[in-house]
Amino acid sequence: MTFIAASGAAIEIQAAVGCSVMQLAREHDLGIEGTCDGSLACATCHVIVEPAQIARLAPASAEEEEMLDLVPGLQPTSRLGCQIRLTDELDGLVVRLP
């Protein structure tokens, strides 16, 4: 998958299936905190999915939507990185770092 930094730089990372976008960003020091370790209690794992790719993801749960409401700079394709688990089907996913 690929992360796009705030500077516009693309960072392509080989990810294991089952890893979350939040875990991957943390492992590579991309500035994602993920303070609650994926328990939907912090919203510090905010990422912005490339609009052309948002349909590849399952819709956000009600709990995820509630946490997203707390995110500064919310975008129409904002998601919580801890809720995106990588699968073979998501190969090549692109998300922006806020």
The residues that touch ligand FES, with contacts defined as CB under 6 A, are: 22, 34-36, 38, 40-45, 67, 80, 82
**Count of C-beta atoms within a 10 Å radius of residue 76:** 8
Give whichever of 35 and 61 is closer to ligand FES, judged by the CB atom: 35
CB-based closest residue to ligand FES = 82
SS3 of 45-71: the string is CEEEECHHHHHHCCCCCHHHHHHHCCC
For ligand FES, give the closer residue by CB, 7 or 63. Answer: 63
For the bound state, the minimum distance from the C-beta of residue 82 to ligand FES, rounded and expressed in Å, comes to 3
